[in-house]
Amino acid sequence: MSKLVTIFGGSGFIGRYIARRMAKEGWRVRVAVRRPHEAGFVRPYGVVGQVEPVFCNIRDDASVRGVLGGADAVVNCVGILNEFGKNSFEAVQASGAERVARLAAEAGITRMVQISAIGADADSRSAYARTKAAGEAAVLRHQPDAVILRPSIVFGAEDEFFNRFAAMSRLGPVLPVVGADTKFQPVYVDNVAEAAVKGVLGQAAPGIYELGGPDVMSFRALMAMMLQVIRRRKLVLNVPFPVARLMGGGFDLLQKLSLGLIENKMITRDQVANLRNDNIVAEGTAGLSDLGISPVSMGAVLPDYLWRFRPGGQYAEMTESARNLRG
């Protein structure tokens, strides 16, 4: 019988790419998610019955234990960008990661891949970064041979980065950003998935890998690239950190006062703290090249999914060709 991997958060942005690759490797894939009825799209990644979404609440021991039964390996992709309801950074990224690693060890599973993030730091001003670091430490206590992947900003068709700002660019002449000079090293989602699969298959040495693409660019430069792809002219306006902190505090307070009815999807104070630091691969750290993976550039991928934000949408190139013919 083929081997089985349980992927926590396997229907999420990164998780679905890992699930697809694991299915192609011939593994059975158990996609552990909070809403399995919304994750049916993962089933066609393999033959009938090969990829199955199942319910799991990463905050509960019994729930996690239940989806680990019979598994040969585990991947934890669960993470959040904003605290909401019971899903706090501590509960999801620290305690949740510890729970997966501990219960996997109890079940005799010794092969684990943990998706973390560049910037994970126990001493960070950001709770997001601190709990990512706490999650890593907890995983290594229970799974000393784990492979931990720290990607920079991840891009791809379903990303929440370029898609979000491309959508914002349609609303007015100005595109506001926080930390315009902060540097990023965006990495293609399928490169991250390939790295995770190597960890599951035992083709990656245990340890921490920081994953970044071939380009290091400032936030402002990334927005300029995105605007060029979608053929829009906007003023990229840097929001000073003190102003952004006040804005984030206001949106956080609104979410709290509304008892969660209004979720802060704009900017949080914690995100502002995170944006103060560059998000690039540290010198001397193992990365994609150590895994034998060639990073895909943004230029090769962004036009494939950002075209819908162009003024003419799918007809933009046709319109431009016609204009050139008239000229």
Q: How confident is residue 191, by pLDDT bands cut at 50, 70 and 90?
A: very high
- Flag whether 96 is in a domain: yes
DSSP strand E in the chain: where?
Answer: 4-8, 28-33, 51-55, 73-76, 112-115, 147-151, 154-155, 174-178, 183-184, 187-188, 207-211, 217-218, 235-239
- Flag whether 255 is in a domain: no
**CATH code at position 106:** 3.40.50.720
In our burial notation (b when 16+ CB lie closer than 10 A, e otherwise), range 160-198 reads ebbbebbebbeeeeebbbbbbebbbbbbbbbbbbbbbbb
- Flag whether 194 is in a domain: yes
Domain range for 58 = 4-155+186-214+279-295
- Flag whether 315 is in a domain: no
CB 258 within 8 A of CB 176: no
CB 286 within 8 A of CB 209: yes
Residue type, 131: T
Mean pLDDT calculated for residue range 149-154: 98
Query: How many CB atoms lie under 10 A from the CB of residue 327?
Result: 5
322, pLDDT greater than 60 = no
Q: Percentage of residues in the chain with pLDDT exceeding 70?
A: 95
- Flag whether 44 is in a domain: yes
CB 268 within 8 A of CB 194: no
Q: pLDDT tens digits, residue range 98-117?
A: 999 999 999 999 999 999 99
Cα R_g (the chain), whole angstroms: 20
- Flag whether 261 is in a domain: no
- Provide the number of structural domains found in the chain: 1
- Flag whether 77 is in a domain: yes
321, pLDDT greater than 70 = no
- Flag whether 201 is in a domain: yes
Mean confidence (pLDDT) of the chain: 95
Listed in sequence order, the residues at least 6 apart from 214 whose beta carbon sits closer than 8 Å to its beta carbon are 295, 297
254, pLDDT greater than 70 = yes
- Greatest Cα-to-Cα distance within the chain, rounded to the nearest angstrom: 71
